[in-house]
Structure 1
Amino acid sequence: MISSPVTSPFGRFEETWRAVHRPELLADPVASALERYSGTEPVESVLVVDTDPEVADTAAFCAAYDVSLEVSANCVVIAARRGQDVSYAACVALATTRVDVNKAVRKHLGARKASFAPMETAVALTGMEYGGICPVGLPDGWPLLIDEAVASSPYVLIGSGRRRGKLILPGPFLAQLPNAEVVAGLAG
């Protein structure tokens, strides 16, 4: 069922939709996760915009669609190593900050070494496109670390799992995703 367009809380988009009504605009893991979502924030608060994949990278996107960097968030995949074991996690921070991988993330995950996962690995493990990695629909069991500035934002813009399109959702919604944890000092 395709519903009527809604108004975006920011930016200049041709149309904005409730994401649960437009699963074809989302990566499959993202659409499936929204169908299963059971938190207290309403799933209808998650919006999707269909945009040009050629301007998916944050700075270009913000300029093209009149979106402030202060409401844009990035989701990065982290590879955490302890001995021979490698585990993965995702971190979400505002585009105006950088995730502190070497201290905050490594320490939080109890890893000896932490680094950004290679692009091919992040894409293969998440089932999402590079440049559109989304915290909604991550693989089961992955820790999701969210900077407190993101979690307290009324709305943030983040990848939809595809380069074409973005989600606009309340920060508190992210904090209710499976394995999500709000971490003070995650980014700076």
Structure 2
Amino acid sequence: MIKDILKSADERMNKTISVLKNELASMKAGRATPAMLDRIEAEYYGAMTPLNQLANISVPESRILAIQPWDRSSIKAIEKAILKSDLGINPSNDGEVIRLIIPELTEETRKNIVKNVKKLGEDSKVAIRGIRRDCNEKIKALKKESEVSEDEIKKAEDDIQKKTDNFIKEIDKMVEVKEKEIMSI
């Protein structure tokens, strides 16, 4: 029973980390990355479809994204989806390829992005601590049912705390790396 609780905690904490990685990857940092478009979907034959399934996305230069649709008829839908998105970049379309030129970030914009990165990091830490709390409550419920010994419960609580500490350190590292990336351009 305790093993199941620990396994569940591990899975949930890893999921929190992967969500944070995806969020950080899709943030604008002054450099073009295909991950910036991961959350954008365009309408294609009546269904909302992620851009990476509609087109080849490449980075020909450090501040330019090139989006080459596999089906030319989808170019207008892709352009419309980019305009609707929160990217704040106007696409240029030559009929075959859509180009996104990522503007240089001002100091103020960089600071705002760093603030958002830190907020995402804090939200992730709160989620990790919430998982720890849930697991500790489940372990205490086992204690009341007297299915396990005091030593097993103490060891399980220590294991969950160690997992929590490790995941929080990982979040701090991810936030620090993203912050350096944003501020060093």
**TM-score, normalised via structure 1 length:** 0.23
Name the structure with the higher strand share: 1
Q: Which has the larger radius of gyration?
A: 2
Name the structure with the higher helix share: 2
**TM-score, normalised via structure 2 length:** 0.23
